[in-house]
A and B are shown apart, each in its own frame.
Chain A
């Protein structure tokens, strides 16, 4: 990297790293440290090819998504991410309180999805990308994106049967899951 490349890279990181980190954290189910690791790895990859990359943001995002869906999904002793127990009960309370709690629980339910499921939902519902773009980014078929979205939403409904009916209940299962990841 020459001086101009270095300047360009630093400018890119200064301007875009907060937005990229936000995406990375969402991909990691809200785990800030895992998101920072994910982003740093993607940026290290990008530095090595900086001169050849035409659109750095698109490149780094693609690496983020692909790294995340291909992450080690089995036991590997690096870091444990524990999903906290949600607050007890809370079927009472006003609408606002109920809504806030439902969203909190939804955040936790998202963390309980697989990396692949969560990545598809982040791309569809946070980045607002059409199915075709998601398929291209993840290197899979549109049918796979569709079926993964469908299965992910179905799993969220199972975890949070109250989603959509305005009532808030404690999820029956899975929130004490401890996921081990790099």
Chain B
């Protein structure tokens, strides 16, 4: 009688023995593919260097990753790949079900209008093979798909008329999804559905990154409050990523005909709800959020969505039962609430200033201050677990000034 491991061994050897040799011209095919990719990459680098002088591109970094178990052991051990000495991280960070697929740095540049600036993002994307983060300056916005092997990208100069599907392994756009339409239908925001099959692309009439308020030297009294920049958010495209099929739906601005730009941020992107059957966005009002069906019509909050906190990135737990909540600060200087997704009742308080992503049904990645009592802005990525005070550091601490340049922000996806 044989055990299943012996059967596996025998089946694999049998399969191996049945394989015909590799084709004789493989080396030439590989060399041709390599030359083609290198050629395309050189073209892109040349264009980028012409636009932005003095920045390194795709700088290769050594691979490898250290791992350590977190928690108390047992069957539900969470696998953690932390870099407590790296900020920003050079090598992959992962915890449980999620991986940091990218990080982004933002800076504001003068836009020509006094008091206004334009927000520019620079992404560092995880190379799936070397497991390191490599800079890619081509994009104004990147949404990484679950699996962290592909991303949807928008070119500079928002809003744009096409979405690129980027292969993160080769760093090449493998295809463009073209979106026809009028001046209302240009894209400036992107979000994947949880299964990665669909994209929600928020449309704006004007670049929502170009209306950032910047302090002026003579603006000491703050007496003049200008009306905020109206980016003209107009609706969203639902895009089936596989086929490229897309459909645009208009969304009326909050406040109806009398468009009230104070009700939303200049950039207030739509995203799919937990089950992908509706769309949600935040509001700067007592209502806190708005919901629409996939045709853009306003609807009541779907089950389990009413207590969504749009400013808390983690959102709903993978099983949908809990909702990452706002800052708590009751039992420790920095902590956050975990809510029952359906009732909104506070069910737990976990360490962490800001909850970023669920690593499992009971654990989350969060920003937290380096040590309890430290500076609010000297925070680092940590893994926290519901029911535990323990935090596992995932990154080194960021700089301790809120406006310090180079403050990186992580982008987590399911791996």
Contacts and interface: CB of A to CB of B under 8 A. Distances in A.
B384 interface: no
A43 B15 contact: no
A151 B14 CA distance: 23
Interface string B68-98: 1100000101010100000000001000000
Given A66-B129, A75-B196, A125-B12, A25 B30 contact: no
A14 to B, nearest CB: 7
B79 A74 contact: no
B9 to A, nearest CB: 4
Interface residues of B, number: 56
B40 interface: no
Given A74-B147, A141-B67, A153 B4 contact: yes
A110 interface: yes
A75 B33 CA distance: 26
Contact of B12 (A9, A41, A75, A126): A126
Contacts of A121: 8, 12
Contacts of A13: 22, 26-27, 30
A58 B387 CA distance: 43
A71 to B, nearest CB: 7
B110 interface: no
Contacts of B15: 25-26, 30, 107
A21 B19 CA distance: 8
- Main secondary structure, interface of A, reads helix
A170 to B, nearest CB: 16
Report which residue of B2, B4, B7 has the largest number of chain A beta carbons within 10 angstroms of its beta carbon.
B7
Contact of A75 (B8, B64, B69, B195): B195
A41 B148 CA distance: 17
Contacts of B65: 139
Contact of B68 (A25, A107, A126, A141): A141
A107 B14 contact: yes
Nearest to B35: A47
A157 interface: yes
Given A39-B22, A74-B147, A147 B34 contact: no
B79 A141 contact: yes
B8 A153 contact: yes
A10 B11 contact: no
Interface in B126-165: 128-129, 131, 145-150
A126 B150 CA distance: 30
Nearest to B36: A44
B55 interface: no
Contact of B64 (A43, A72, A139, A153): A139
Contact of B22 (A17, A147, A165): A17
A18 B16 CA distance: 10
Interface in A117-169: 121-122, 125-126, 135, 139-141, 143-144, 147, 153, 156-157, 160, 163-166
B276 to A, nearest CB: 13
A144 B146 CA distance: 21
B102 to A, nearest CB: 15
B43 interface: no
Contacts of B9: 125-126
Contacts of B5: 125, 153
Nearest to A29: B15
B13 interface: yes
A77 B245 CA distance: 13
Contact of B146 (A74, A122, A126): A74
B16 A126 contact: yes
Report which residue of A9, A49, A73, A106 has the largest number of chain B beta carbons within 10 angstroms of its beta carbon.
A106
A45 B170 CA distance: 9
B11 A110 contact: yes
Interface of A: 6, 9-10, 13-14, 17-18, 20-22, 25-26, 30, 32, 36, 39-41, 43-45, 47-49, 63, 66-67, 70-77, 102-103, 106-107, 110, 121-122, 125-126, 135, 139-141, 143-144, 147, 153, 156-157, 160, 163-166, 182
Given A14-B27, A40-B33, A163-B4, 11 more contacts: A13-B22, A13-B26, A13-B30, A30-B15, A72-B147, A110-B8, A139-B64, A139-B67, A147-B77, A164-B2, A165-B1
23 contacts: A10-B27, A14-B27, A17-B22, A18-B21, A21-B22, A22-B19, A41-B169, A44-B33, A47-B31, A67-B128, A70-B149, A75-B195, A75-B196, A103-B7, A125-B5, A126-B12, A139-B64, A141-B69, A144-B77, A147-B77, A153-B4, A153-B5, A164-B3
Interface of B: 1-5, 7-16, 19, 21-23, 26-27, 29-31, 33-34, 37-38, 60, 64-65, 67-69, 75, 77, 79, 81, 92, 128-129, 131, 145-150, 169, 195-197, 241-243, 415
